[in-house]
Amino acid sequence: MSADPARVAAARQLLAHLGVTLADLQADPGPRLPTLAEYLPRVAAAAGSGARRTYGTYWNRMAAAWGDLPLDAIAASDIEAMQRQIAATARSRRNSRSGRHAGEHVIAAARAIYNRAIADGLIDAAASPAHRVVKPRRLPSTRRALTSDELEQINAAARTSGNDVLLDALLLRLHTETACRRGGALGLRLADLDTDRGLVRLTEKGATLRWQPITLDLAAHLDEHARTRGAVVPTDRLLRYRNGRAIASRRYDHLWKRVGQRLPWVAAQGISTHWLRHTTLTWVERHFGYGIARAYAGHTDSTGPATTTYIKADLQAVAAALSALTGQPHPLAAVNRASGPRCQPELPAAKSG
């Protein structure tokens, strides 16, 4: 039965009055996507502590700018505009690159949001605006290996200034011997120290876990330092202030600021703890080869030449490299190769109390 033309005309007139078309009535709107402000807490809860620390500031900026918008209403041009704005207003530091890294973090923070939305099935991968913004090409790092003379000057400046030279000497020695990252050192607990075999258990990026050789001298000093300053149970932190509190990353900031005040070239080049990692790993690679340097660094990624599959080094080889680096024997060293060690930070003979 055909529809009454008069009724059809009346219906059309009513739809026009409401601003609704037939296409609107036929379309399936589907479930409503959450707004950015609604979804961000889920993203942050699923992220690791490192991601929250790195991206948290940028997520807050995005929530302030686009919090009321559904995820599919944010455009690639919005993200790119924020990237350029933050890069242009980034705080200028001696080692900054015109806000380039801050701009990279904006895109990475946005991609973290949309990666989670894709994983949750809220949007298709092709619909992500964050992945349509091209990340700027990362510039080569300015970090390099320090010379023996430079390393000696840094250690001398740390040992002769500051309110806790014993702690600072331990920090520099630990990073020079192990080439560990700051997070690895800060996470060390009493249970992670093996004084008999000269090992520390490091937990670093991506929750990677490894036992790293250290000299028996350093192991003894670390154990004495921790116990004298209040470490009792296995889960107590290893590196501690005089008052017994575990140190935080701010200790490194104060250390390098103080060294930079005494050594202007340190401040001018933006030298930090990570330069010690470059220094040790460069030395190991030059004297023991790429495979042992890779193991010494704790690198476990599978990218790179296929040869890396066949040149994995064991703990004994890493211990041998440490022995040559420090000039001290190690109980796990398979071979103690004769080689002039780099400047080895001195440890105070006094107790760490």
Is residue 24's pLDDT more than 70?
no
Q: pLDDT by residue (tens digit) across 243-255?
A: 999 999 999 999 9
Cα(112)–Cα(62) distance, integer angstroms: 12
Share of the chain above pLDDT 70, in %: 83
Nearest of 279, 268, 249 to residue 345 by alpha carbon: 279
CA distances from 260 to 57, 156, 166, 242 (A): 27, 12, 19, 24
Three-state secondary structure readout of 80-141: HHHHHHHHHHCCCCCCCCCCHHHHHHHHHHHHHHHHHHHHCCCCCHHHCCHHHCCCCCCCCC
Share of the chain above pLDDT 90, in %: 66
Q: What are the backbone dihedrals phi and psi of residue 22, each rounded to the nearest 5 degrees, phi first?
A: -65, -35
Is residue 68's pLDDT more than 60?
yes
Cα(186)–Cα(249) distance, integer angstroms: 7
Q: pTM for this one? A: 0.71
A 10 A CB-CB count for 298 gives 19
Average pLDDT over residues 191-199: 97
Average pLDDT over residues 270-298: 94
Is residue 173's pLDDT more than 80?
yes
Q: What pLDDT was estimated at residue 281?
A: 96
What is the DSSP annotation of 12-52? HHHHHHHT--HHHHHS---SPPPBHHHHHHHHHHHS-HHHH
Q: What pLDDT was estimated at residue 352?
A: 44
Q: What pLDDT was estimated at residue 154?
A: 96
Q: pLDDT by residue (tens digit) across 71-102?
A: 999 999 999 999 999 988 866 555 554 457 78
Among 10-19, 45-54, 165-174, 238-247, the least confident range: 10-19
Q: What pLDDT was estimated at residue 100?
A: 72
Mean pLDDT of the chain: 86
Torsion angle of the four alpha carbons 106, 111, 117, 118, in this order, in degrees rounded to the nearest 10:
170
Among 29-43, 69-83, 204-218, 307-321, the least confident range: 307-321
Residue that the structure tokens 């409401």 belong to: 18
Q: Which pLDDT band, with edges at 50, 70 and 90, does 309 fall under?
A: low
Q: What pLDDT was estimated at residue 301?
A: 59
Q: What pLDDT was estimated at residue 338?
A: 43
Q: Which pLDDT band, with edges at 50, 70 and 90, does 267 fall under?
A: very high
Radius of gyration for the alpha carbons in the chain, expressed in angstroms and rounded: 28
Among 131-140, 144-153, 290-299, the least confident range: 131-140
- Both structure tokens of 332: 């796990």
A 10 A CB-CB count for 27 gives 9
Q: 285 with 324: CB under 8 angstroms? A: no
Would strands 199-203 and 193-194 be described as parallel, antiparallel, or unpaired? Answer: antiparallel
Torsion angle of the four alpha carbons 10, 11, 14, 19, in this order, in degrees rounded to the nearest 10:
-140
Q: Which pLDDT band, with edges at 50, 70 and 90, does 130 fall under?
A: very high
Q: Which pLDDT band, with edges at 50, 70 and 90, does 22 fall under?
A: low
CA distances from 44 to 111, 117, 262 (A): 13, 12, 40
Per the document, the length of the chain is 353
Average pLDDT over residues 187-199: 96
Q: What pLDDT was estimated at residue 246?
A: 97
